[in-house]
Structure 1
Amino acid sequence: MRKIGNFTAFFGADDVFSNWHPCRFTYHDVAFTSVEQFMMFSKAKLFSDEKSAARILATRDPMTQKMIGRKVAGFDQKIWVAKRESIVFVGCREKFAQNPGLRSILLATAPTELVEASPYDLIWGVGLGERDPRLTDRSQWRGQNLLGITLMRVRDALAMN
């Protein structure tokens, strides 16, 4: 995590804001080891692919979870786009609500704008690296920053509790 002006940039599994960051939380009596696992499990369940859901729960490796999630049977892009942000919101909310140390770190970022500084991800990130000088200029972003937006929504929700 790196604060740059009114932005807090993050990237990589070692960063607590990453969906790949190892953490434990439960949702509806199912235990998860990362938000990535929650996201891919939820994706499999959304499309009624129980085999993939079970495989995702059986591994702790986020890359493997992502690979399984990319091959979910019955996947429909339109449905996924409509549901993905609410799924990740729930996963992030549970991660930070159930882990007080992580919650404190998230709340301490207020009022900065959270930015996933992934040079590769144009959906969840901004498509720019953490050291890219364009990072603090939204008009230069190549990606949507959905994870940053979702984390700010979680931060706002947890700040009210």
Structure 2
Amino acid sequence: MFEHDLRLENACHFSRFDAGHPLSTFSPHDFQLEEAVWATAEHYFQAHKFRDRAYGEKIRLAIDARLAHKLGNTWWKRKRADWKSIRRTIMTRAMYSKCIQNSAVKQALLDTGDLLLVETSAYDHYWGIGRDQRGENMLGQVLMAIREKLRER
């Protein structure tokens, strides 16, 4: 029924929610972007879901990435109408800024060589590969594009 993807066996696997992995959006590598300091890429990403600046600031100041994620995924707060069309750009900005401002993260990304980067979320078919491993793996794609850009520099 489903064919096994052999490329996934040799890939670099990571979880977006693993604060200990430098390629994760939860890793505590702060960066400056848009005249503010962001504790994690997750803080930046979640804060930009909303047009309400005060709520975005509350997310930016969240004590950790888990709280930023929770605040960004509340059911009662309306996301900006264009969110689906800009979310990849927002994530790219956050991860690129994190990489160029944190040498350890940059080196960790470059050390992956030409490996396929795979965000292993079983539930997120956009950012990760999903349980059936047929998701878009958008976070992996964003990181691989950043890796290529860093090599060109």
State if a TM-score over 0.5 links the two structures.
Answer: yes
* Residues 22 and 33, structure 1, Cα contact 8 Å, conserved in 2: yes
What TM-score do you get using the length of structure 2 for normalisation?
Answer: 0.85
Question: What are the ranges of 5 or more consecutive residues in structure 2 without an aligned counterpart?
Answer: 1-7
Alignment pair present for 1:75 and 2:75: no
Q: 1:20 maps to which residue? A: 26
After superposition, residues 84-95 of structure 1 pair within 5 angstroms as: 84-95=87-98
Matched, 1:148 2:140: yes
Q: 1:119 deviation in Å?
A: 1.8
* Compared CA separation, residues 76 and 38, structure 1 to 2 (3 A): closer
Structure 2 CA distance, aligned partners of 1:154 and 1:65? 24
Which of 54, 77, 84 is matched with 1:51 structurally?
Answer: 54
Stretches of structure 1 that go unaligned for 5 or more consecutive residues are 129-139
1:32 to 35, 38, 52: 38
Q: Is the 8 A contact 2:119 2:139 kept in 1?
A: yes
Distance in 2 between the 1:102 and 1:4 partners? 23
Residue identity (%):
27
Considering fraction of residues, name the structure with more helix: 1
Deviation at 1:120, TM superposition (A): 2.4
Length-normalised TM-score, structure 1? 0.81
What do the CA deviations read for 1:39-63 (whole angstroms, capped 9, x no partner)? 012222xxx2112111102213212
Determine the structure 1 residue equivalent to 2:4. none
